[in-house]
Amino acid sequence: MSRPKFPTLSWRQARVASAAALTLLLTAAYLAQPADAEDPPPRTVAAPSMTMLDRPLTIDTRAAITAQANAQAAAHLQAVQKAEKAKQERQARERAEAQAAAAREHAREQAQERERARQAEQRAARSAQRQQAATLAAPSATVSGAQGYARSRLSSAQYQCLSNVVSRESGWNHRATNPSSGAYGLFQALPGSKMSSAGSDWQSNPLTQMRWGISYMNARYGSPCGAWDFWTKNRWY
C-alpha cells in the first residue's frame, strides 16, 4: 500500500502545525473530564517552544515530501520532453513542406523552360522556312525557267514525254506561230488566246505557257505521256 501524500509545506510551517495540533489535543482532553470528578490540581500547559519547532521532521514526513518533490520534478521533465518533441515534429513538418514546395517550384520552372525552348525551336524553324522560301528563286520568265518549273512538278518520265511534244510542236520557241492555223507558243495552242487562262502575259512568258500546257495535257490526255502517246500515233495532239 502506498504512503499517503501530504500537502506541500515548508519545514517551519510543518513544525508550527504540529505544535498547534498538540495544544488542541491537550485542551480537548481536559474539557472531556466528568463534571463531578474531583478537579485535579491545576497544571500549567507549556506552549510549544521554538525548540520544539526546530526539531526535525519524522522519516515518513521527509520521505513523503521527497516523493512529492520527485513526482513534481518527473512531471515537469515529462512536460518539457513532450513540448520539445512536439517542437521537433513541427519543425520537421515545416522543413518537409518547404522542401516539397521548393521541389514543386523547381519542377514548374523546368516545365516553363522546356516550353520556352520548344517555342523558340518552333520560331527558329518557321524563320528558317521563311528564309528558305525567300531565297528560293522564283521560276524566271524564260524557257529554262519554264523547263525548271515543269521538272519540279513532274516525274522524269512525264517531263520527258512533255519535252518530246514541245520539241516537235515548237522547238521550245515560246513565240512560235503556225502561219496557216495561227497556233501559238510552246504547245501550239489553237487559238493561242486559250493560254490566257494561265495568265494575261501568255504571249511573252514561257512560264505562263508551261503552266497552261501541263494543265491541258493532264485534263485532255491524263498526263504528258498520254499526250505524247497520242502525238506519236497522230502527229498532232
pLDDT of residue 74: 85
Contact 185, 210 (CB under 8 A): no
Average of per-residue pLDDT values in the chain: 82
pLDDT of residue 172: 97
Spatial neighbors of 157 by CB under 8 A, at least 6 apart, are: 225
pLDDT of residue 50: 46
> What size, in residues, is the chain?
237
Crossing angle for the helix pair 156-169 and 224-234, to the nearest 10 degrees? 40
pLDDT of residue 150: 96
Residues of the chain with pLDDT under 50: 37, 45, 47-54, 135-136
Q: C-alpha cell of 236? A: 498532232
pLDDT of residue 166: 97
pLDDT of residue 48: 47
pLDDT of residue 31: 60
Q: What is the pLDDT of residues 220-230, one digit of tens each?
A: 999 999 999 99
